[in-house]
Amino acid sequence: MIRLCLSVAVLGLMLTTRALAAPSSSVAWTTETVALIRSGNPVTGKQLSYGCAGCHGTEGLGVSPAYPHIAGQDAFYLFKQLQDFKDGSRDNPQMTGIVASLSERDMADIAAYYAAMQGAAPVRGSSHSAVVDLVSRGQGSRMIPACSGCHGTGGKGNSGYYGMPVLAGQKAVYISIALRQYRAGDRANDVYSVMRAIAENLTDNEITVLGKYYATQDPRQ
């Protein structure tokens, strides 16, 4: 009996340690993965993407506020998200089933297809200087780094950082959903918790205005 209790305890400990040590993503930017994504074939990607149009549109533009635009998105970022949805690192019931049968090669082809499409036209609107300041300078006292340091000026992306998403022109509602998910820890596929650590310090109002700010930025300029 003692032995049984002990093994149950050890098992529990192992599972806890495993859960704590679980990596946020299984995608590593190895030479092979980078080469695979660079060799993605957009023509095959197009053939594989018919099932995506119902939600992401025929032009890669999300058809409802919670469906993100994926046209013009960074190919490395797209590949990583598809892989993360497939292995459960990123949890979304609508995406999980869709990606289940995709191979890594398929994902690289799909990523090449959407990355080459034109990004969304920005929505109209002006931004308050406080959000521009937050985006371009951050706020050191609250441990919030400048968003543009990683996501590029106006959120246009950053090819020097593998897997960095373009935020410019993205739907405001979707961006706010993503930031809330990071803040609550419901989205945890960001390596080194980079976005969870930042979102933790954002207020509800900041999350809303950040979404609106990026939606007004033009990804195509």
* Min dist. Cβ of residue 118 to ligand HEC (A): 16
* Min dist. Cβ of residue 2 to ligand HEC (A): 45
7/64 with CB nearer ligand HEC: 64
C-beta pairs of 189-198 under 8 Å, 24+ apart in sequence:
189/24, 189/25, 189/80, 189/81, 189/84, 189/89, 189/90, 190/24, 190/25, 191/23, 191/24, 191/25, 191/163, 192/24, 193/24, 194/150, 197/143, 198/143, 198/144, 198/145
Q: How far apart are CA 117 and CA 106, in angstroms?
A: 17
Interface with ligand HEC (CB under 6 A), residue from 34, 67, 96, 153: 67
Rg of the chain in Å (alpha carbons): 19
Choose one: 5-13, 35-43, 87-95, 121-129; the region binding ligand HEC (CB under 6 A): 87-95
Coil/strand/helix, residue 139: strand
Beta bridge partners, 144, equal 139
Interface with ligand HEC (CB under 6 A), residue from 72, 74, 81, 196: 81
- The H or E element containing residue 217 is none
* Min dist. Cβ of residue 71 to ligand HEC (A): 11
- Judged by CB under 6 A, the chain residues 106 through 125 that form the site for ligand HEC are 110
* Min dist. Cβ of residue 141 to ligand HEC (A): 14
Interface with ligand HEC (CB under 6 A), residue from 37, 40, 49, 183: 49
The dihedral over CA atoms of 91, 111, 147, 178, expressed in degrees to the nearest 10, equals: -20
* Min dist. Cβ of residue 195 to ligand HEC (A): 5
- Judged by CB under 6 A, the chain residues 130 through 149 that form the site for ligand HEC are 144-145, 147, 149
User: Is 54 a binder of ligand HEC (CB under 6 A)?
Assistant: yes
Could you give the C-alpha distances from 91 to 83, 99, 145, 175, 187, in angstroms and in order?
11, 12, 26, 16, 7
User: Is 45 a binder of ligand HEC (CB under 6 A)?
Assistant: no
Residues forming contacts to ligand HEC in the complex (CB under 6 A) are: 49, 51-52, 54-56, 66-68, 70, 78, 80-82, 92, 94-95, 98, 110, 144-145, 147, 149-151, 163-165, 167, 175, 177-179, 189-190, 194-195, 198, 210
